[in-house]
């Protein structure tokens, strides 16, 4: 799971490219990106029968690997990661060895 969640670090370079776009549009982009990573990794792991999550019983699932009702949470998570990663890179005390 660490490599999958580690993909969240990609939000920082992406946020630099998207800084001229409104927060709502950035949140939507992050939501789609998170869904894409979750879908691709979930599908890959499910084919090998090692997927640690199964949303098959959820009402708004797609192939049991993503839940569309999580969209708001992924939207907020993307913006939160953007803020945290941006703050870390601009705070000299947080960058100290």
**pTM over cut 0.85:** no
| pLDDT over threshold 90, residue 74 | yes
- Tens-digit pLDDT profile for residues 52-65: 999 999 999 999 99
**With contact defined as beta carbons under 8 Å apart, do 26 and 18 qualify?**
yes
pLDDT of 16 reads 87
- Among candidate residues 63, 76, 64, the one with its CA nearest the CA of residue 31: 76
Mean pLDDT of all residues in 29-35: 94
Q: Could you tell me the residue ranges of all domains in the chain?
A: 2-89
Integer Cα distance of 88 and 86 in angstroms: 5
Q: Which residues of 23-45 are buried (b: 16+ CB within 10 A; e: fewer)?
A: eeebbbbbbebbbebbeebbeeb
Half-sphere exposure of 3 (CA within 13 A, CB side): 3
């Amino acid at each position: 799971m660490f490599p999958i969640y580690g993909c969240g670090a990609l939000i920082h370079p992406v946020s630099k490219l998207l800084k001229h776009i409104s927060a709502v549009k950035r949140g939507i982009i992050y939501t789609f990106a998170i869904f894409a990573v979750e879908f691709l990794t979930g599908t890959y792991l499910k084919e090998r029968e090692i997927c640690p999550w199964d949303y098959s019983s959820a009402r708004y699932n797609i192939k049991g690997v993503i839940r569309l009702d999580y969209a708001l949470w992924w939207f907020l998570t993307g913006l939160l990661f953007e803020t945290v990663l941006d703050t870390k890179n601009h705070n000299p005390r947080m960058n100290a060895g």
